[in-house]
Structure 1
Amino acid sequence: MPATVSADVHRLSGRWGRLDMHALGATVTSWAPGGVEQIFTCEDAEPSPGRMWHGGIPICAPWFGSGMGLDWEVPFRHGLVSRVAWQVVHSTSGDDGATIVLRTDARSTRHLAGSDRFPADLGYELRAEADARELALSLTITSPTQPTRIEAMFHPYLAVDVPTARLAGLGGIEYRDFSDGTEGVEVASLRVDGALDRVYAAAAPATVTDASGSLEVVPEGAATAVVWNPGIVDGRFAAGEGQRFLCMEFGNAAAGAVDLPAGGSHRLGIRLTRA
């Protein structure tokens, strides 16, 4: 079954379900295996070049947040590649699943502040594979001719009923919570009962469980985990939206930033699996 392509959104579907990929930032905006949506996007999202929006699965690179693992002050949060359109180089869709591959490079981001801090030939490729049970994302960042330091994170907005949600798998890992400045070691099962912005010193498979079921998120090539929820009251979201998602993020940030040699590459992956 062919993919449906609009100016901005590539939709791949079959009996297994649906995957929507927005060209802006190569952002997954929907994964609905069996017709059940697993990804949240805020009601007032307005994707436009140069901006990010709350929702989907953004790619944060070549820096994350305020660039905690870099030695200079970044001009805005979460990097460059989410703010430009990526090109589709391969796409297939059938009754059993779908695959799409997109690419971009530093030429597409050179008009953005901060781009001059990175090699002019830095390249990015995202491969997404989806079926009725799993969504697998693989991001490869390559620096053909110059050494550089990068951060990269997948930033999934998981469609979760926060009041009934529990997060397991990060127990025993040290964290710093930027919502209140506290530091600690995570407990075996975390309940989200207020604003949360925890950056963890390591990455491990995590499972989010709520009243509707559970979703496992497994990282590959990641050294950092982040758990974020804005809490009940946050002016960036419509009333109640903060209770409808949880961000379970994996990648390489802060002390986990990656030093790429000239000619080197780094592969970062996450796999979302329905229980």
Structure 2
Amino acid sequence: MNIGIVGAGKVGCALAQGLENNGFNISGVYSRSDDSQQYLCAKVGKTFENSISDTVKNSELIFISVSDNNIIKVAEEIGRKVDNDIIRAKTFIHLSGALTSKALRPLENLGAYTASLHPIQSVADKEKGWKKLYNIFYGFEGCKEALDYALSIVKSFEGRLIEIREQYKTLYHAAACIISNYTVTLSYAAHEILESIGFDRETANEAFLPLIKNTVDNIERLGSVNALTGPISRGDYSVVGEHVKELGKLDKELENMYKVMGRKTVEIAREKGTLTNEAAKELMKIL
């Protein structure tokens, strides 16, 4: 299968290297940055002109790996610069978790097959990001013809494909942001608290890492509900009250964050069955 890559950022680099390693033929690379394009060409051991037209012309499947704000613009650019006869019946897949295949409507209107395929993974660097694409889930939304290509790609990464209805794509992506981005935010908030009581930045960063890793391990083994521990799970509302009081003195934003997360945690604890009605009521008064 000949695969073109439009966009040589972190995800584009990871995908291209992974696909080449998996036996697919990377048949073109295009980037607005010549340096990024040449970097990715070197990584896959090939030389291509930095041409969006050539990338599309030489490929059966084209991945559009650009920022969400630019996907429609790139689709329109392809429609302007590439002959319609070349676009017709080719498959274009963007990698956004938030946008649907409608972002590629300019190409669909010209006879192309379109879809979105979102690796449920964070890719932090160009060098080794491809290793993160194996044994994960991929969210797919789009037409049947594109699905056949996507299944082949996901299978090569030993992954699992989840089909997502178009109307649910935004909520799907919101869930991904909560679990990934907001985990980072929670870690940052915890570091702020530790630094406020005298921890140096390095110690603050390292002290809770085993706790985070063990929590993730517990979620994997037991599920989110049964992995819950801590004062809310035990119904220790006096402890929670002290947390709220001290956080309020330190930073109102942190206090509010704690309360919002706490109310949802009460819900989890009730589902787990570790809270009495009385303890739950007391906790909700505090939170």
Tell me the TM-score normalised to structure 2 length. Answer: 0.23
Higher helix residue share: 2
Higher strand residue share: 1
Larger Rg: 2
- Report 1 or 2 for greater relative contact order, CA contacts < 8 Å, sequence distance ≥ 6: 1
